[in-house]
Amino acid sequence: MASSSRNNKKYDVFVSFRGEDTRDNFTSHLYSALCRQNIQTFIDDQLNRGDEISESLVNAIEASAISVIVFSEGYASSGWCLDELVKILECKKEYAQIVIPVFYRVDPSDVRNQTGSFGNSFSKLEERFKENSKKLQTWRNALKEAATLSGFPSQNIRPESELINEAINHILKRLLDQVFRPNDNKNQLVGVESRVEEIESLLGVQSKDVYALGIWGIGGIGKTTIARAIFNKISSDFEGSCFLENVREESKKPGGLVCLRQKLLSNLLKDKNVSLDIGLNFRRLSRMKVLIVFDDVTCFSQLESIIGSLDCLTPVSRIIITTRNKQVLRNWGVRKIYEMEALEYHHALELFSRHAFKQNRPDVGYEKFSSKVMKYAQGVPLALKVLGCFLYEREKEVWESAIDKLQRILHPSILEVLKISYDSLDDEEKSIFLDVACFFPGEDVNLVMKFLNASGFYPEIGISVLVDKSLIAIGSYNKIRMHDLL
């Protein structure tokens, strides 16, 4: 069976419905709710249909990850609807497309057996197609199969607004499940699952305190990747959600912080034309359960300009901040901090292999070279990806030369990311960093401080800043540690 998360899916959802029954009521409300959640939805709004579905409609069904079938009383009176149903079930088998039935004012057993008022509608169709017994049997089989699928009976969920809410939440979860499908090797994120579980536990999604969590670590270590994975997994549990990417870069642009705040409010309130009245918007937010990710924050003033403080949010809301600077988290009162560590060796080798060999392990004959790359990159995902792409389909002689060169000259793409933290230091902090990098890795921090103090520096604050910015770490036995890439 093929995966339903085939590349280049044009639509998230295809909605199959009987227009005369539900176009202006239930289906219109369902479609609006899907659009508000930014779920790309195909809905056929043609009023006049022929006897057979068009090629464009067939293509739309095939190009959708999920099909929602709204079974209404008159659904089975339409050959067009039943042909859609047959095609949808074919896609379920061929592409593992997800199929979700909604039984709108009809009983699932009536759909399954073509009885009751639903059966009366089908009887009318039988009169028209009585000469085509094969087609009729195909439709009967499709109705029986679809009615056995887990769905949403409207008589069990009242009012209709609640029915729509439950259906939307279910659709979101099914879409997100595709991101985390364990057998989909192309989309699986290496070494992420256990970290996602740890951070979920730290977030305490079920507790009732406004909860901010910091994800802190060196550049390129995977902070944004893990934050995105968490966001994708849990965002459907919140009334509003927003992932603000690249806060550092965006805030440098003219009016950047204002644009970020506008984007935040628009996403959370699901209002593209959100009012500029900040007080009103934050009062609206104070009544909502929201999830916000601030990605790559470098200073407290960025958060202060975009959202102010935690006081404007409800106790069930959650905030995640990714940063290279632990002081940013302290300034904003973030108590729970998750330190991103390097990937374990087997995960690092798998991530590198996916980029260098387009598979989960090195090619035969390249194991020794790959081991050297592992030693060099030391589990930093950015370095593993960049080097994997750089070495892809190169000869062994080139690998050897490239690895020797990397021992002396850092790859520009890695340098660019790591240098951001260095550039944020003042002149004295840069000097302390360079002294530590050149002379003192593995040395006792107290001895290093004595040396720096004798050299006219202020080592207590200088070393503290380097630790906060993930440029060095104080390990066991009070020894200074620094990543070899730095």
Instruction: Give the residue numbers annotated as catalytic, written as ranges.
Output: 84
Cα within 13 Å of Cα(311), Cβ side: 4
* Residue 77 DSSP SS3: helix
How far lies 404's CA from each of 343, 365, 382, in Å? Answer: 23, 18, 19
Residue 247: count other Cβ atoms within 10 Å of its Cβ: 24
* Cis before 159 (ω within 30): yes
Runs of H (alpha helix) within 148-255: 160-179, 193-203, 223-234, 247-252
Residue of 122, 11, 137 lying closest to 86 (CA atoms): 137
- 154-165 exposure pattern, b = at least 16 Cβ within 10 A, e = fewer: beebeeeeebbe
Six token digits for residue 271: 């209002």
Q: What are the φ/ψ torsions at residue 322 (nearest 5 degrees)? A: -100, 135
Quick check: 417 and 382 in contact, CB under 8 A? yes
Under a CB-based contact definition with an 8 Å cutoff, are residues 342 and 378 in contact? yes
Q: What is the DSSP letter of 392?
A: T
**DSSP H stretches of helix in 37-95:** 55-62, 79-95
